[in-house]
Structure 1
């Protein structure tokens, strides 16, 4: 230290940076030493050190050096940059959660089929097709929320729900075939379970609920059209109508 100032080597030790990094910051004009010794050694005062710590903080937030140089002395620019960076990070998080959700679908498909490696390409094609379908109904934020809900609910419960749907739809079909009154306790019980399983999917999120219902109704329309190919083996229009009527009679 000279006259209360820090030499570059000592500053590197205190901050955990390398001398080479501090030299680079100097060359960029990002953090320049206030003085130099007669021999040309860099000397940093308290103001220089404070500026360096601001640079370190912004770097830890993920800002590139060129942006840091622009915003360091401009509070308004700093706020705007951080807001933009926050938005971009949120989008990246949503995208990663969407990718994780897709991986979860792939894993579930492979595990359910005990798929040999020779059939893996078929699984990938099927999952990719479903991904494209999902993207038409769910935006990036919703896909991220679905990934979070999957993690909260857990794969075991998700598997239970997926396994329950075919038998529940069969029970609804049987009730309709027998002419069961939608207002009867049997029909209401089916509707309550049906809606409960759907709630585990959308979590009472209005956007997810609307998108889910749009998928179900569009798929039902495809099932009713002999020339079309349904997106998946979901409920029919008749099943949804019966459940809807029964749901209205719940106590």
Structure 2
């Protein structure tokens, strides 16, 4: 006769996973991870199936899904448990690949310093650019969420949005050259369209919206180059968007 399966108390599960008891209580309250057993005194006990579900929750959180989305996904009987592990592996491989490239650059600089006593300015600048490139402004969770957004929107819509941005900047530039006030109704209509496209890109995530704004404010030259606009147009666009937001604050 097989021995009964051992179960874990909530404190033991928290200790062995690095999660807090409060987090496990929260998952229980949401219906995301309901322990399979409770003792006569109401104490939670977690079996192997609960641990497997918790691993899926942690992996899906690591790739940027919200708790609500995770619950819906795991409650779908068609969901393959292997999916969560493969998605997590994909994100880890992307991060490792980026860090490996940075490691190779730094090793090259270190070797050059050992042989010559100095490093070229170009090599240092290249490494700085790579270290501080725009996606470093986003957390791994935000990057995963942006990838999810891209998958949801689809390649066709992404191309449409790129063309819409091109047309929108052209319209901004026409008003700029005509001397239109960025606060004018015509320019503010364009600002509203721009805000709509930004909202579609960020999915309404305030953290991603802030990171995008920081990139524009702190590295305007790089942002202008990425968008294919002149500094004058970038400054005009920034003023129009500032007015748009101030009117809705």
TM-score, length-scaled by structure 1: 0.49
Structure with larger Rg: 1
TM-score, length-scaled by structure 2: 0.49
